[in-house]
Amino acid sequence: MTLAETGIPACEQIEGCYPPVAVRARGPVAVFECFQRIPCDPCYWACPRGAVLEFRDINDLPIVDWTRCNGCGLCVARCPGLAVVVVDETYAPGEGLLKLPHEFWPLPAEGEMVDALDRSGRTVGRARVVRVVGKRRGDTPVVWIALDKSLLRDVRAIRVRHEEAGGLCG
């Protein structure tokens, strides 16, 4: 199955997006899971450090200068395709930090436990919300979650459990 058929990238495609081990060992870094050439460049304009190199063609995929990226997450909030996350493998012993876009309401609260979902929407673990940022108009909110390091490459979304809300239809 291909990305076009399932909407889920192959392991090889995901591996190709990750910065080298030495870069990840320094701290938080953005991971761009952009796989399609489409006219898009908000990540370039969002980066105050120039880590996303200027596009020669508006359809180019982002190229990152890993020496400049500090994992601030501004590109995460600006990406209309929700294709960018920040991964921090140095967050705590046995625990990583993931900054990911989250377009659902209500937003989770700091300290809240959420379901950690893989790219197919399957629950693969639990995560603790560390911070919620990027609530300005025009930005996608970015939720920072702490989770088991082994899940950093798999988790790309969260589910907030609001049992008291009863859902839309019930």
**Tokens 């990911």, located at residue:** 100
Query: How sure is the predictor about 144, in pLDDT bands with cuts at 50, 70 and 90?
Result: very high
Question: Is 51 in contact with 68 (CB distance < 8 Å)?
Answer: yes
Quote the mean pLDDT of the chain: 89
**170 pLDDT exceeds 50?**
no
Note the pLDDT tens digit of each residue in 48-104.
999 999 999 999 999 999 999 999 999 999 998 898 999 999 999 999 999 999 999
Sorted by where each begins, the domain ranges of the chain are: 3-162
Residues 54 and 107: their CA atoms lie apart, in Å, by 33
pTM: 0.88
Most confident segment among 32-36, 76-80, 116-120: 116-120
3-state SS, one letter per residue, for 102-155: CCCCCCCCCCCEEEEEECCCCEEEEEEEEEEECCCCCCCCEEEEEEEHHHCCCE
* Helix, strand or coil, per DSSP, at residue 86: strand
